[in-house]
Amino acid sequence: MSNDFSPLIKPLTIGRGAKAVTLATPVILAPLSGVTDLPFRALAKSLGAGLVVSEMIASWAMVRENRNTMRMAEVVAGGGPSSVQLAGCDPDAMAEAARIAVANGADLIDINFGCPVKKVAVGQAAGSALMRDEMHAARILEATARAVDVPVTLKMRMGWDHNSLNAPTLARIAEECGIAMITVHGRTRQQFYEGVADWDFIAQVKQAVTLPVIVNGDITTEQKAETALRRSGADGVMIGRGAYGRPWFLKQVADYLTTGKHTPSPSLSEQKAILLEHYRAIRAYFGEGPGVRLGRKHVAWYSHGLHGSAAFRAQMNRLDNGAAVEQLIHDFYDPLIGAGFVRQDEMALAA
């Protein structure tokens, strides 16, 4: 990387007026069902994420004030903006859910036109299914944008399949409906998460609108973030699976895209401390029993790439006591820390 590196990202303002939101660094934590709960979002934000987005929230459940749904939609207190992502196929329900989310502290509302899961896209005619009906999609976008005074954003895919790559068209519709930013995952619905994200296609969306556009999909290293931005022409990046077990990764990406310099990962001792903080926050938030179960996947992700991690995960998954899991974490990490072991993130992602 040369000394005359030009920053690839800059502060990004979403929306207009008094409720516009400015991201100091547009490196965004993706909405991930079963992953980006409040403890994870709070940790990612504290470690430098430019914006965090809730798990996908069903609009009808929000309107009915389902207890679990309202918990999923809680926003992180203090220190930068938070977004709540809504999914649904009824414009009125989406509008009402947006009003509820804003009343509860959301700085932005994100609309999901990207979820590929059969239960959502087929069973509920929501998520990525809405890309197949542009007129109905427009009704949802317009109703939601009109319902609240905070910026409303949209996350979608390239299209339903490769015979209907209509993201540029839908992006223009979204802009006309009052949407303030668009994120595009570089796959179709039919691809789910297979194949490779097409960052080049996202350039067509960027060229179709004057709105900020965010590139999403397969961003697991700083170099891939740079390539995704250069090929898409996007204004920022959204990171999902690349943050599993690495909540500090978003800050590394932000630093790299701003300065061209790599920020080292935390030491293994620091990673252990972050893991324990995260694990305790999960149990405190969800309760001991549910927290132990929900925490297993996170503990497993943190351990990927470490010597003996497969055996560690197998043993951890048999434990149902949080204190016992914590002791196992100490027993696993401390010898590695003492030996000066360095976790290799690329190895971790492949594990």
Residues of the chain with pLDDT under 50: 1-2, 346-351
What pTM was estimated for this model as a whole? 0.94
pLDDT at 237 (0 to 100) = 98
Angle (CA) 201 8 28, round 5° = 70
pLDDT at 64 (0 to 100) = 83
Catalytic residue set: 115
pLDDT at 3 (0 to 100) = 62
Distance CA 300, CA 34 (A): 15
Distance CA 185, CA 238 (A): 9
The pLDDT tens digits of the residues spanning 11-32 come to 999 999 999 999 999 999 999 9
User: If 0-12 CB within 10 Å is exposed, 13-18 middle and 19+ buried, where does residue 179 land?
Assistant: buried
Torsion of CA 79, 212, 15, 68, to 10 degrees: -60
Q: Are 165 and 188 in contact (CB under 8 A)?
A: yes
pLDDT at 349 (0 to 100) = 47
pLDDT at 214 (0 to 100) = 98
Distance CA 223, CA 220 (A): 8
